[in-house]
Amino acid sequence: MPKTPKSSPPKTAETKANRARRRHLLALLRQAVKKEKAERAERHAGIRQAPRAGRPRTRRASRR
């Protein structure tokens, strides 16, 4: 016999506040991760663009 859908309980102010708080915290977390990734990418790009110390490499090292 198929199950009949059950209606959800009424939304209280408490549950709404908790959901809003959770959404806000998750948004802050996503924002922090995004910022960290951007900074990391920037740091890595800076490392790549910096010239090597010492003599310039004229020949590429062998892949083997």
Please give the chain's pLDDT, 64 residues, in tens: 678 999 999 999 999 999 999 999 999 999 999 999 999 988 877 666 556 666 666 666 776 6
One-letter amino acid for residue 34 of the chain: K
Would you kindly state where each structural domain of the chain is located, as residue ranges? 17-46
pTM to 2 decimals? 0.54
* Sign of the CA dihedral running 11, 12, 15, 16: positive
Two structure tokens written together for 42: 């920037």
Provide the terminal-to-terminal Cα distance of the chain, rounded to the nearest Å.
67
Give residue for tokens 């790549």: 48
Give residue for tokens 């890595």: 44
Helix/strand/coil percent split, the chain, to 5: 60, 0, 40
